[in-house]
Chains A and B, each alone.
Chain A
Amino acid sequence: MTVEELHELADRERERQAGVRHRVLYCSAAGCVSCGSHATRDAFKAAFTRRGLTESEVVGTGCMGLCGQGPLVKIHDDGVLYERVDAGLAHRIVDEHLVEGRPVAEHQLDAASPFFASQVKIVLENCGRIDATRIEEYIAVGGYEALARAVAELKPQEVVEEVRKSGLRGRGGAGYPTGLKWDIARKAPAEQKYVICNADEGDPGAFMDRSVLEGDPHRVLEGMAIAGYAIGASQGYIYVRAEYPLAIERLKLAIRQAERHGVLGSRIFESGFHFRIDLRIGAGAFVCGEETALIRSIQGRRGRPQPRPPYPSERGLFGAPTVINNVETLANIAPILRHGSAWFAALGTPRSPGTKVFALAGKIRRTGLIEVPMGIPLRRIIFEIGGGTPEGTEFKAAQTGGPSGGCIPAEHLDLPVDYEALATVGSIMGSGGLIVMDSTSNMVDVARFFMEFSRDESCGKCAPCRVGTVHMHDLLRKIARGRATADDVALLEELCETVKETSLCGLGQSAPNPVLSTLRFFRAEYDALLGPVEVFTPSNPLARGRGPGGS
């Protein structure tokens, strides 16, 4: 395909859409499908036939955001958004809204409400807007333009420079500058280099990457191809969780379409640049989100991390220089090249430019997928966008970063969301899971819950993590059951420091975070569960009738 052909294709698709009488978009992401959005689609089709509305179409799109109120439907003609659309309501919408021009007010969502108005969409700009199963729709909204421009007009180092100037930082959680990573890989002398997309979204309570892959897979492919061009790689891999069958299906389809249209494969846009993408399906191991473990897994081995350095950008997959970026990071690449690095750098905060996608869940009124500018205070996310905790309950903590993060109490809610600010309260940005807890949550048990997760997912390679997580979990269980003393808490704190300082990879280094942050902000809950320190004396050989460590 040439650039002219790309523009022609875009024009043709725009004309086709303009010719459609009514265009109804329904959310076909996992959340809404679970609520029966396929039945909604069928009802719309039946209603079109019943009313003789030919030249109308029902289109499945990616996540529309408000997952708790599904199935969601958007009328493309006028932008009206509906919640909880069952089959009956679908018929009413066609009769009253489309035919008679009177929107069904009681199911209408207000687009000016804070949930929608406070968001800034870059990564999710096409989610809920285009049909993820048709490359034409992606191209019609400017898709693959950035790749075409990069290949035709820019030198690889100019692409790297543009990404570096944008200030984009890794969205997987650690926040390493993407441009720097690319530059190291670009400069590494090697015949063969690789680009890997880390789609092993393992944090429980996080579904941002899945939504992007399901709703806008071509955006990720385009970002990968641009990365490939920038560093000089001809092969990319997407490492995606087996638990995301719909995302896998959509990616397979998207890769096939992209190859057929010549935006992936050989001689992309008539240049000398070749780039292929293959899928690798994960098999359920949290540690594979760690880049060196992920590389091992792609090579068909157990996902056990390797010491760094060497970093993958110097020596990664099959020993070759490899750039590993998270889904959300790669989804930012095409917009950066399209609008320029200055545009991106102006969004968010100077240290953390751009936006961040969060999966908002837990004890909150409006759950779903949101994208906000970096630097927005947590309070606005939770109370304006999320609507606060359900009636009759009180906000207690916001958990970010999953098993690697911490719990942020009410007094720190005015903290701006960026990498450094979250670290000051012992949490991390993480990949974007944001779980709200109310007064019913027991914070000691929350810490135990996450430690159980880390214990089960520890790969067992290094002793601090393998042994430490087991002991920390046992101590937390002992405390939660009211059988511990202040000595146990002191031991727990000591273990936290040891595991944090001496573990091989990020899993172990961050596993103590949920314990440390709950100890820091909710210590009273720990103290309330403690018994008196029992001293073993000859007259009291079996204090309280239990041996040491009994649980």
Chain B
Amino acid sequence: MITLAVEGGPVAVPRDATTTHPSGDNRFKLLDRAINTHHASGSALIEVMHAAQGIFGYLEDDLLIYIARALKRPLSQVYGVATFYNFFRLKPAGRHTFVLCTGTACYVKGADRIQRAIEHRCGVAFGETTPDGAVSLVAARCVGSCGLAPVAVLDETVAARLTEDEAVARIDAWDAATEGVGA
């Protein structure tokens, strides 16, 4: 047995407990459950990462190490998968997310103009988060609502037939509601 210094005094942890996290963070229990539903199988790596991102919001290094050990996969492979797929985030997302569809229908209807207007407004490029952590700009491949192009998804609500001015106004509204967005 080893002992760990955590909040509330030392806690005894069995030496073979490879799937509990020393931080005592309860969210790891949820992750353990997800790992167990897949019988800690290495082929479930992507499923487990989806679960982890759902629980923690993004995949930080510590979390990737934890997953690699639990599934008995080399860290290089876990990191490789995390960086290969667009859906996985290695950095925390902003408080608000502006997902702009950059699919063909939206492109034909002027999504590139909206993109430039928003990047100018926020002072960061798509794929990044404003330095104050207020807004993440995400470029989606296609959200599949081509009939409503150009489309953006703002914090889970779909904005159809968006214009540049409207898009900037939406960011301004977030700005007014909180403490500041971007530059």
Chain A residues within 8 Å of B, Cβ to Cβ = 30-31, 33-35, 66-68, 70, 201-207, 210, 242-244, 280-286, 297-303, 318, 359, 361-363, 367-368, 399, 402, 433, 435-437, 441, 449-450, 453, 459
Query: How far in angstroms is the closest Cβ of chain B from A476?
Result: 14
- CB pair B103–A285 under 8 Å, yes or no, is no
Q: Is the CB of B103 within 8 A of A367?
A: no
Nearest CB in chain B to that of A65: its residue: B147
Q: Answer yes or no: B148 CB below 8 A from chain A CBs.
A: yes
Bound: A68/B149 CA distance, A: 9
A363 with B148: CB separation less than 8 A = no
Q: A31-B148, A362-B104 are in contact. List 11 more A-B contacts (CB 8 A).
A: A31-B147, A204-B107, A243-B141, A281-B47, A281-B50, A284-B141, A298-B43, A300-B81, A399-B104, A433-B146, A437-B108
Docked pose: A206 CA to B145 CA in angstroms: 9
25 cross-chain CB contacts under 8 A = A30-B143, A31-B145, A67-B146, A203-B142, A204-B107, A204-B142, A205-B104, A206-B144, A242-B50, A243-B143, A283-B46, A283-B85, A300-B46, A300-B81, A301-B81, A303-B84, A362-B104, A362-B149, A363-B108, A367-B105, A367-B146, A368-B147, A435-B105, A441-B108, A450-B104
**A31-B148, A285-B86 are known contacts. Are A362 and B46 too (CB-CB below 8 A)?**
no
The contact of B43 among A201, A282, A299, A459, by CB within 8 Å, is A299
Which B residues are CB-close (under 8 A) to A399?
A: 104
CB distance from A36 to the nearest CB of B (A): 10
Are A362 and B105 in touch, CB under 8 angstroms? yes
Q: Which residues of B does A touch, CB under 8 Å?
A: 41-47, 49-50, 73, 77, 80-81, 84-88, 102-105, 107-109, 140-149, 151, 158, 160
Q: Are A435 and B148 in contact (CB under 8 A)?
A: no
B105 touches A361 (CB 8 A): yes
CB-CB under 8 A from B46, the residues of chain A are 280-281, 283, 297, 300
CA distance A203 to B142 in the complex (A): 8
Partner of A284, one of B73, B86, B158: B86
Q: Are B145 and A204 in contact (CB under 8 A)?
A: no
Q: Is the CB of A361 within 8 A of B149?
A: yes
Closest to B160 in A: A34
Residues in B with CB closer than 8 Å to A67 are: 145-148
| Nearest-Cβ distance from residue B5 to partner chain A, whole angstroms | 35
- Across the interface, name the chain A residue whose C-beta is closest to B42: A300
Nearest CB to that of A318 among chain B residues?
Answer: B43
Q: In chain A, what residue has the closest Cβ to B38? A: A300
Interface centre among B42, B143, B147 (most CB of A within 10 A): B147
Identify B109's interface contact among A30, A362, A433, CB under 8 A: A362
Assess the B103–A205 pair: CB atoms within 8 A: yes
CA A34 to CA B43, docked complex, whole Å: 35
| A205-B105, A283-B85, A300-B46 known; A243+B146 contact, CB < 8 A | no
* Partner among A33, A70, A302 whose Cβ is within 8 Å of the Cβ of B81: A302
Q: Which residue of A lies closest to B73 (CB)?
A: A300
* Docked complex Cα distance between A93 and B46 (Å): 48
For the complex formed, measure the closest distance between the CB of B44 and the CB atoms of chain A, giving whole angstroms.
6
Q: Within 8 Å CB of A282, what residues of B? A: 85, 87
Which of A33, A244, A281, A301 has the most chain B CB atoms closer than 10 A to its own CB?
A301
**In the bound complex, what is the Cα–Cα distance between A130 and B44 (angstroms)?**
34
A302 engages B84 (CB within 8 Å): yes
The residue that A34 contacts in the complex, of B102, B109, B158, with Cβ under 8 A, is B158
- Asked whether A361 lies within 8 Å of B147 as measured between CB atoms, the reply is yes
Looking at A283, A441, A450, which has the most chain B CB atoms within 10 Å of its CB?
Answer: A283
Cα–Cα, bound, A34→B145 (Å): 8
Report whether A204 and B87 are in contact in the complex, using a CB–CB cutoff of 8 Å: no
B123 to chain A, nearest CB (A): 23
Provide the residues of chain A in CB contact with B85, threshold 8 Å. 282-285, 303
Report the bound CA distance from A210 to B103 in whole Å.
15
The contact of B141 among A33, A202, A281, by CB within 8 Å, is: A202
Shortest Cβ-Cβ A-B pairs, 4 listed: A67-B147, A204-B103, A283-B85, A284-B86
Chain B nearest CB from A300 CB (Å) reads 3
- Contact for B44 among A70, A206, A300, CB less than 8 A: A300
Contacts of A435 in B (CB 8 A): 104-105, 108, 146
Bound-state CA distance A67–B158 (Å) is: 14
Q: Which residues of A contact B151 (CB under 8 A)?
A: 34
Chain A residue numbers with a CB within 8 Å of B103 are 204-205
Min Cβ gap B39→A in Å is 13
The smallest beta-carbon distance between A74 and chain B, in angstroms, is: 17
Closest residue of B by beta carbon distance from A67: B147
Find the B residue at minimum CB distance from A208.
Answer: B144
Q: Which residues of A contact B105 (CB under 8 A)?
A: 204-205, 361-362, 367, 435
Residues of A within 8 A of B77 (CB): 301
Structural contact, B147 and A367, CB atoms closer than 8 A:
yes
Chain B, residue nearest A399 (CB): B104
Bound together, the chains give a CA A449 to CA B143 distance in angstroms of: 17
Q: Is the CB of A30 within 8 A of B104?
A: no
B144: contacting residue among A210, A303, A362, CB under 8 A: A210
Distance from A548 Cβ to chain B, minimum over Cβ atoms (Å): 28
**Nearest B residue (CB) for A287:** B84
What CA separation (Å) do A433 and B80 show in the bound complex? 31
Shortest A233–chain B CB gap in Å is: 17
- Complex CA gap A207/B151 in Å reads 14
Contact A361–B87 (Cβ < 8 Å): no
Pair B108/A362 contact, Cβ less than 8 Å? yes
Min C-beta distance of B89 to chain A, whole Å: 11
Which one, B47, B88, B102, B147, contacts A204 given CB within 8 A? B102
| A244 partner residues in chain B, CB cutoff 8 A | 144
Q: Residue on A with the closest CB to B144?
A: A207
| Pick from A70, A359, A449: contact of B146, CB under 8 Å | A359
Q: Measured between alpha carbons, how far is A244 from B143 in the docked complex, in Å?
A: 8
